[in-house]
Each structure stands twice: as structure tokens, then as C-alpha cells.
Amino acid sequence: MGYKIVLTASRTEMSDFNLNPFRAFLAGFPSGIIPTSILRKKVYPLVPSNNGYAPFAPYGLRKIEAMLKERFGEENVAVVYPTELQNAVDENTKVIGISTMDPLGLAYVSVTYSSILGIGNKCLNALEFEELMKEVSRVRKNARVIVGGQGSAQILDAKMADKLGIDTLVIGEGEGVVLDLFERAIKGEELPRVVYGKLEDARDVPVINAPSLYGAVEITRGCGRGCQFCTPTMRKLHSFPIEHIMREVEINARGGTRMIMLVTEDLFLYKVLPKFVPNREEVVKLIKRVASVEGVEYLQVTHTSWPPVVYDRKMLEEISEIMLEKTYWQINGVRYISDIIGIETGSIRLMEKYMRGKALPYDVKMWRDIVIEGAGIYNDNGWYPGGTIITGWPDENAADTIATLELIDELRGVKVILIPLLFVPFHEAMLKNASRVDLKDLSDLQWDFIATCWSHNVREFVPELRRKIMAISTFLMPFYYLKHGRNFIGPAIKFAYLNQILDIKKIKRKYEKYREKYEEIKEK
């Protein structure tokens, strides 16, 4: 049986990665290393479905589904896995709507780690999106294809819409534009190639009517801090009413999800007070109510930030007592809470230039002290957050990189998972026209930054793996030297814990000879 409107996403974006939201970052790593059939079965399986209808789906897709069902009728709209498209699409299907986060593998994790690993093929996100579009092309008949989601801008920038068979790209927030767009598609009218959406009123956002992956529930949208590299921070901040949030929590809990994941750029932006002063009363009330819902086994937050917990550590203490009881995470038998927080850089110059509002309600000149104190407060309350740090900023210089290395050194002994990333210009960000950094252009200091981050992670979380890392790194070092050049070798030796027993300068000279021979062979 076919449907008038069919909604879907790629396999990596329709999977809950065995209920592990952080494992989903693996989709940014290269394909071709492990057979895709094994990855689909073990790493990103689809939750079994009896009727072809996806029991869980990406949160954004659920929002669009709710709007379309209200306008066109529940019987005319279906959210299905890409494997079920052949059964859901027929000659009566008018529109195939697709949600995507990283269709071409150009997001932070994909760009950084596919490049560093340097083996395999395109990243898994790109591979699975390509497979999805092949299947859409095969079954679409006369249906229009509309693609939205955060990753749609990648397709626009790459001018790939025609090649992928896409009729319309929706850039930005879709709630205000999709109903008219789908109406026109159903009527067979001419469609614009690109539609830009912007949320003006939070009341336009519908409540989902079926469970989302990870039990995702949006509590805020936008940010307002104005960081130039980021898309959400350039959008107006909306905090959703608590009853709106609780309706979605209940729908997820009744639908069988064991986790509720609160989606936000920063939990402490929820009903934030003027000048970005956190609203302890509202934040604590929200966490208590969500945790009290029957069926909620795990409670996860996508993002928080450093300044609010420095400003009001009591707020963190109160919610941590609740969240530790509902946490998904354990290490060596110890329960902990985790999320993703932006460290971004240790350079005050770069902070002042690109992220002046990120330290509010404090002065941005205090950024390094805020990060260090905030990390300690998080640890004291059972949080081991992941901290993203970026290199390759526009006009980043050696002094900026050194400042970041100094900040990392000051975090020694602190349980923060440091996640080094390469700068990526996003379409909707102020820095969208900035140059994308390339690995071959990284300085030895920038390579040192990447190695130092991962050395920190091994030391603080899995020190027992040092010997294995030393052995594996020693084995792979010649390959990666040829791949990444001389600036790579010193940091690699440091990461492999070989710097105390080896003469780095001597090894660099030796590998340089190998590289010269390698280049000669390539030319021939």
C-alpha cells in the first residue's frame, strides 16, 4: 500500500545505535574498513518494525510528520525506513520528504576523523545517504523529492541537488514553510529549488505524535550568544512551555523508548534570565518533572555550557542528584553524567573576535578560568562531559594554538573528554565564507594539539591502554607519516608515549628520507 506522503532518512540517521547517542558519531568515520553489512547489523541496526512504519525516527522528521498529518490526514502520511520505501511508494505517492544531518560527510566529526584516519572510503553518513538517494530514484515514479534538515545546506553549497534528484531543498527551520511547500507539490505545481525557513513564533512548533530516536524532546531552540562559527547561536532563543515538553516526554515514554534526551544548545538556556543568568528554579523543575515520568529509565541532555555552573553551582548540584539516578553511563562501575560542551579554544584573542557572547554572564577575557573552574564543578557533581575544541580557525596563529595547548595542560587531572575538531564553515553561520582547513596545511603545533587532546583522554579515562596504543601507533606511524607529512611525526610520537625513549629529531630525518623516496615513486 502506498502513501500520498512518505518521509524517511538514511540508515545511520534512522538508527539509535543501540540506544547510544554518542556512538552515533561513528557515522562520521570512513566506510570500507569494516563491511557495511556488519556495521548495519551491529553498530547502527534499525529497530524492528512489524508494519514497515518506523517505530522511532529522527526528532525533526517527527515534527514535520505531525504537521503533515494534521493538514493532510494521518492515513496519507507515513514515516518509513529506507528499506521499506519500495512498499510505501507507489503511483499515488506525491511527495517523498527526506531529513538529513550530514549527507555529504562535511560536518565536524566527518571532516576531522575521516581525514585523519586517511583510510577507507567516504564516511558512513555520506555512504548511507547516497544509498538512500539511489533507492529513492528507483522507486519515486512521479513523486517530488523534498530534502530538509541541518545537512541540506551541504547539498546546496555543493550544487548537488540535480545530481541527487532533489526537487527542493529546505534550508533552516521548516515549520513555517513545509505545509505550503507540500501542498504545492501535491497539486503538481512548480516548486522552488530552495526554500529558507525561519521560526518566528514557538507556538508554530507542533507536538510530535510518535516516538523519536533516543526519546528526543526539544526544550529550547536557538541560542542568541552570537558565536560566528555556529548556526544555532545566530537564531533567536525560544524556550518551549513545560506542558508542551511534557506532552512529548509522555508520547515517547508510552511509545516504548527507555531514554528521554533533552535537545538544547544549552540546558541552562531554558527560560534564561536577562544577560544569560541561569534560571535555577525553572531548570530544576524541568528535570524533576521529566525524571518523574513512568517509563523513563534514562535521562540525557545534549548540551550544557561552562559559565552557568560557575555562576550557580547549586543549580548543578540539584539536578545532578536526579540525573545520576537516571544516567545511561558507567565507567569501571561508577555512574556518571555526560553531554557535549564547547571549549572551542584557549585563545582569548579568538574568543573576543568570534565568540564574545559565549562567556556571558561573565567577561570573555575570563574564558580560560571559566572553563577550568566549570570543569571542576562538573566533576564534583558526577559529570564527565565531552569538550569540543577547534583548530584551523580563520587567521589562527601559533600563539592561539599555544594558548589552547596551555588550557589543555591546565585541565590535567580533570575528567573531560577532549574532542579535537577541524574548523568547518557552516552555510547559515557568519563565518560561512571562511576557508575550510585542510590537514596538509596543519602546523606541527596544530598536530600537537590533536595528539595532546587524545593523550589527555587516554591518561584520564583508559590509562591501562597505553601499552596497546604504543604498539599500534608504532606499527602505523610510517603509513601516517607518508599520509600527513613531517608535521605529523612529533605529535604522533608523543601520542604513542614514545617521546621519552626516542630521539624525535633523528626519527624525523629518517622518515623524511622515506617520504622523499615515496614521492619519487608516486611521480614515476
Domains (range + CATH), the chain: 1-201 (3.40.50.280), 462-523 (no CATH)
518 pLDDT more than 60: no
79 pLDDT more than 80: yes
Q: Looking at this protein, which amino acid is placed at residue 281?
A: E
Please state the rounded mean pLDDT for residues 109-133. Answer: 89
Please state the rounded mean pLDDT for residues 73-85. Answer: 96
More confident residue, 424 or 411: 411
Ramachandran assignment for 57, one of left (phi > 0), alpha (psi -120 to 50 degrees), beta (any other): beta
Residue-wise pLDDT tens digits, 337-386: 999 999 999 999 999 999 999 999 999 999 999 999 999 999 999 999 99
pLDDT band per the 50, 70, 90 thresholds, residue 503: low
Lowest-pLDDT range of 198-212, 265-279, 330-344, 475-489: 475-489
Instruction: Give the Cα separation of 7 and 18 in Å (integer).
Output: 22
Q: Is the peptide bond before 361 cis (omega within 30 degrees of 0)?
A: yes
pLDDT at position 516: 60
pTM of the model: 0.91
What is the residue-averaged pLDDT of the chain?
91
CA distances from residue 246 to 66, 262, 287, 298 in whole angstroms, order as listed: 16, 11, 11, 15
Task: Give the three-class secondary structure for 209.
Answer: coil
pLDDT at position 454: 92
129 pLDDT more than 70: yes
Instruction: Give the Cα separation of 343 and 348 in Å (integer).
Output: 12
Residue 89 burial (CB < 10 Å; 0-12/13-18/19+)? buried
Task: Give the three-class secondary structure for 402.
Answer: helix
CB atoms within 10 A of CB 207: 17
